[in-house]
Amino acid sequence: MDLGAFSISLSVKDLHASREFYKKLGFEVFAGEASQNWLILKNGEHVIGLFQGMLDKNTLTFNPGWDNNAEALDDFMDVREIQQALKEQGVKFASEADESMSGPASFIILDPDGNPILVDQHV
């Protein structure tokens, strides 16, 4: 199952302080909008999302349809196909993508320790 590009989305208390900290580790702003309280940072192929006031917990994030540079892929497994495959395996969902729609959609599942996994398709 190809889940697309991977990043970790961090719930941060102070976007500016977090950005400055990760800058010391070699991460640079890649995307996002500080005025909207979110930034995406990149160091080589490593991607971290910083989200102030938007997430309850740190979250593993996968983006079907994107490569690690947030470029759209021509061929990818749609988020609804991934959701259906997981349902068939008995995975429980915290939120689901609307299977009657196409295009951008997302779902959230929790691992056995309660860590959220967001599968978020933007294309």
The 8-class DSSP code of residue 24 comes to H
Q: Which fold has domain 5-121?
A: 2,3-Dihydroxybiphenyl 1,2-Dioxygenase; domain 1 (3.10.180)
- Burial label for 107, CB within 10 Å (0-12, 13-18, 19+), is buried
- Burial label for 36, CB within 10 Å (0-12, 13-18, 19+), is exposed
Give the count of alpha carbons within 13 A of 74, CB side only. 0
Q: Whole-model pTM?
A: 0.92
By the 8 A CB rule, do 108 and 83 touch? no
Computed over every residue of the chain, the mean pLDDT equals 97
Tens digit of each residue's pLDDT (9 = 90 or more) over 97-120: 999 999 999 999 999 999 999 999
Average pLDDT for residues 73-83, to the nearest whole number? 97
Angle among Cα 29, 47, 99 to the nearest 5 degrees reads: 115
pLDDT of residue 13: 98
Tens digit of each residue's pLDDT (9 = 90 or more) over 17-76: 999 999 999 999 999 999 999 999 999 999 999 999 999 999 999 999 999 999 999 999
